[in-house]
Chains A and B, each alone.
Chain A
Amino acid sequence: MSFPSALFRFLSKAFLDEHQQDRCATLRFADAGHGFDVFGLSPDWVQGMFALFQPIYQHYFRVQSHGIENIPSSGAAILAANHSGMLPIDGTMIYCDVLHNSQPARIPRPVTDHFVPSLPLISTLYARCGTVGGSRGNVHALLSRGELILIFPEGVPGIAKPFRERYQLRPFRVGVVEMAIRHRVPIIPVAVIGAEEQFPLRMQLPLQLFGAPFLPVSPIPFPLPVRYHIHYGAPISLYEGTSASDADSPQLVQQGAAQVQRAVQALIEHGLRTRKGLFT
């Protein structure tokens, strides 16, 4: 066993309670033969990173999960979430939440922007945890294998929007709808409440390191300990009443993207209405 795998096994045993360890033991993944799937996911790394993020998930952001039962217990599905907060902490919290609460425990496969595989160290860490680069081929491969994928259809514009425009969604890209129709899979709208306020002061330096569109900076060195609320909506079956070839229709996918965006926006509004405060 390699050193990182041994380390992550140790971490998961040290930091996860028995219940979580039992859940992690049931995680299913398509082993390509040497303890990794074809994208490089390793269950040891997944458990280890889950153990490391568990205190942040439970005690720092105190994540509250709503509607996790909307995630199917098996088969391919797409989680489509709003993106915010300067750094991809929202994705990490959704990832931890699905690992923590889904029945049975499933590994979500976040889809990142094109530049992420170019980032040294981060690319490897992400790949071991199940993240894939944002290309049509990768999404196609994951859905064909019955995986649960996590997409932020707003893309980088969502995470880069100024604080004054918080919780106002950027236009959803249509690729997610195209894939849902083509693969006959449901889209589960997801709203993350709290991430928008974690960095109230933020700016973007026009430094394009490793292909990243900008370098995010904030005078606040750590995100504020806002409470996260993650809301999962009812699955949207856009494929019903369509054929796989309808995924090529620009009008249909545009309408579908607007429908998913409306569903996420409605969940956001519901989440904002029902939360008691930023930190409670």
Chain B
Amino acid sequence: MSTALITGATTPVGIAIAKQLLADRVFAHILAVGAEPPEEVKALFPTSGVTYLQADLTHPRALRNLLFAPAASHQVTTVIHTALHRAAQLGGQRVHQLNVESTRELLRLCEQHPTIRRFVLRSHAEIYRVRAIEPEILDERHPIDLSAGLPQWLRDRAEADLITCAAMAVSPLQITVLRCAECLIPDAGSQLFDYLCSQVCLQPLGFDPMLNVLSLPDLARAFSLAAASPAHGIFNIVGQDTLPLSALIHKWGRLRIPLPSTLLGPLYWLRSKTQGTDFRYDLNRFRFHFSAIMDGRLAAQQLHYTPQHAAF
């Protein structure tokens, strides 16, 4: 059994993936990489099987040092890249550096690495283009949203995904991109989770689209299966729960108020400015109008992944 390196390892998603990989005995050892000092994250990981390394992925030199010193000495064979800026309210060059440039640089360095053979990226369902004229069931060939004026949060995610997908054609690595449905947990960059944290959820009047949400155990299992499988490519990772937005709000015990769509942007902007919340209506406008459910059949066929846990 070999060693895997996980970026973004101190996030709830990174921790769950690390634990799942060890539990499934896919890897004997995990190099967990995060931005926090080691003393702050000691309690997050199992005492054996995980080595924590602090690294700032926005610095190419730090990335090089990480891959060609500890990763080389541990003979890392697989890199699982989940590091991403989660806050939607922040933007700018440094955020872009982490979201996009670190992915590009990491891929490049992995290709030159003596032991790394596999690269797995955590991508997101939100990057798919959602419009009235588009199908409601999205397979892996569905267009990515690259429209002009796209907020950086979405643009960066789409760019990181496309960089990795483009590398599939030319890279000697086995590359897998897992486009995961939204995971309704805190600190995972979930816009829906932040939306549902409010006691009152505003919804576009006259629209009630279908959504799919993923549980953290299923997400971690998908990564474990992808890391262990000889299959590679792009896979949609869907959750067990597919339901209308109104039903989701109802299940979370929130009050739902339908309002004309034109009011929602300013109201949620005001909410974020006064309460410091992260939900941005402009990021979610289309999927709050039109259904968009990923088709998970390819992952079921090739990775043998099917969701098994309810998200809430």
- The interface of chain A, by Cβ under 8 A from chain B, is 2, 32-36, 38-40, 114-124, 127, 132-133, 135-138, 140-141, 211
Assess the B247–A34 pair: CB atoms within 8 A: yes
The residue in chain A whose Cβ has the minimal distance to the Cβ of B241 is: A33
Asked if residues B243 and A39 are in contact (CB atoms below 8 Å), the reply is no
The answer for the CA separation of A127 and B209 in the assembled complex, in Å, is: 9
Asked if A124 and B247 sit within 8 Å, CB to CB, the answer is no
A138 CA / B133 CA spacing, docked (Å) = 10
Task: Tell which of B133, B240, B295 touches A135, judged by Cβ atoms closer than 8 Å.
Answer: B133
Report whether A33 and B206 are in contact in the complex, using a CB–CB cutoff of 8 Å.
Answer: no
| Any A CB within 8 A of the CB of B291 | yes
For residue A138, which residues in chain B have a CB less than 8 angstroms away from its CB?
135-137
Closest to B261 in A: A120
Q: A117 and B243 in contact (CB under 8 A), knowing A38-B136, A133-B133, A137-B135? A: no
B135 contacts which chain A residues (CB < 8 A)?
Answer: 133, 135-138, 140-141
Closest to B250 in A: A2
Number of CB contacts from chain A to chain B under 8 A: 87
Question: Which 7 pairs from chain A and chain B are nearest by CB?
Answer: A137-B135, A120-B206, A32-B242, A34-B243, A121-B206, A141-B137, A117-B132
Contact between chains at A36 and B247 (CB < 8 Å): yes
28 sample A-B contacts, Cβ–Cβ < 8 Å, listed by A number: A2-B246, A2-B247, A32-B242, A33-B240, A34-B241, A36-B243, A38-B136, A38-B210, A39-B210, A40-B209, A40-B210, A115-B132, A117-B132, A117-B289, A117-B290, A117-B291, A118-B132, A120-B207, A121-B206, A123-B206, A133-B135, A133-B136, A135-B134, A137-B137, A138-B135, A140-B135, A141-B135, A141-B137
Q: Which of B225-252 contact A (CB under 8 A)?
A: 240-244, 246-247, 250
Name the residue of chain B whose CB is nearest to the CB of A135. Answer: B135
Q: In the complex, how many angstroms separate the beta carbon of A121 from the nearest chain B beta carbon? A: 4
Inter-chain contacts of A135 with B (CB < 8 A): 133-136
Bound: A138/B247 CA distance, A: 23
Kindly state the separation between the CA atoms of A121 and B240 in the bound complex, as whole angstroms: 27
